Structure 1
Amino acid sequence: MKEAGATRTMKRAVNIRIESKQAEQTQTQQAKGELYEKNGAYYLRYAEPDGEMGQTTATVKWDETHIKVIRHGDVQSDLTFRSGVRTTGGFTLPQGRLEMEMYTHGIDRKLNEGLGSLAWSYDMYTGGAHVGRIRLRLMIEEDRSE
């Protein structure tokens, strides 16, 4: 299923609400970023609002088959999520690299031209041990403050 307006390449300023839930802990963060479409995929780029990430830029790329989260800066990571599939990735921190695996339960796209809601849930494993189930939801809306 192709999103409407998938040929658009113009960058748009957006407001992002990031909701993450692990166990009974829910965290909500806000960020400003830019959204654009390129070669049939959408890209969402923003500065990580989590102070523990330092100066880190996150890029979330998605298409019809997967979501990829790439971080550059003080924290580096490359995580891929495919519904019903176990994927590998990792984080590079000042202390070293942490390899991990993610099993994605599902991806829910409620988007129109990249705006709307993108959500997914996954189990995370490090060293073969289950770390927890994480649910993420990105609410992306056009920034009309300009």
Structure 2
Amino acid sequence: MRLRRRERMRHMKRSVRIRIESKQADQVHVREASGELYDRNGSYYLRYAEPDPELGKTTATVKWDESHIKVIRHGDVESDLTFRSGERTPGSFALPQGRLPLECYTHGIERKLSDGLGSLSWSYDMYADGTYAGRIRLRLTIEEEQA
């Protein structure tokens, strides 16, 4: 009986606070958002409304497991990016003006997490339509929402 309850608890959505730190060249952006965190089939899912006003009404979903991170955006901005340490992976970014093919070479992924909470960091080189667009470092800090 106890195991079943623990499994149900793992699948429950939890309200979380998210700190999103991005660094590209000498520009650093820090944003905060509220979201939901849940665990399903060995992967964690983090869903939140993008706090960046330039992205309009866009919902981001970050999915991760031991092998990769996937970031999917839906709404005013549509994108799909996958990050695997030491690999170059295809992705896309779509605006009303059209779709831009992307590729990301992931240098490394660092997980300092316990039950989905903590920090998730990665750095990657971005290629937009085959052209190098820069190195980006991201860190998500995920904490339980305080009531």
Do they superpose with TM above 0.5? yes
Partner of 1:74: 76
User: Equivalent residue of 1:90, what SS?
Assistant: strand
The higher radius of gyration belongs to 2
Instruction: State how many pairs are aligned.
Output: 140
Task: Please give the alpha-carbon distance, in whole angstroms, between the structure 2 residues aligned to 1:111 and 1:39.
Answer: 17
- Match of 2:54, SS state, is helix
Q: Is 1:96 matched up with 2:92? A: no
**Structure 1 residue 127 displacement after superposition:** 2.3
Structure 2 gap ranges (5+) = 1-5
- SS of the aligned residue for 2:11 comes to coil
- In 2: Cα distance, 1:93 partner to 1:128 partner: 18
3-state SS of the aligned residue for 1:84? coil
TM score, norm. by length of structure 1: 0.94
Q: Which letter maps to 1:17? A: R
| Residue in structure 2 matched with residue 21 of structure 1 by the alignment | 23
Q: Which residue of 2 aligns with 1:87?
A: 89
TM-score (norm 2): 0.93
Query: Structure 1 vs Structure 2: percent identity of aligned residues?
Result: 71
- Name the SS of the counterpart of 2:12 in structure 1: coil
Question: Which structure has more helix as a fraction of its residues?
Answer: 2
Amino acid at match of 2:92: G
Say whether residues 1:52 and 2:54 are aligned partners.
yes
Q: 1:142 aligns with which of 137, 141, 144?
A: 144
Cα distance in structure 1, aligned partners of 2:89 and 2:61: 18
What letter matches 1:20 in structure 2?
S
Query: Which consecutive residues of structure 1, in runs of 5 or more, have no partner in the other structure?
Result: 1-5
How many Å separate the matches in 2 of 1:77 and 1:70?
6
CA RMSD, aligned part only?
1.0
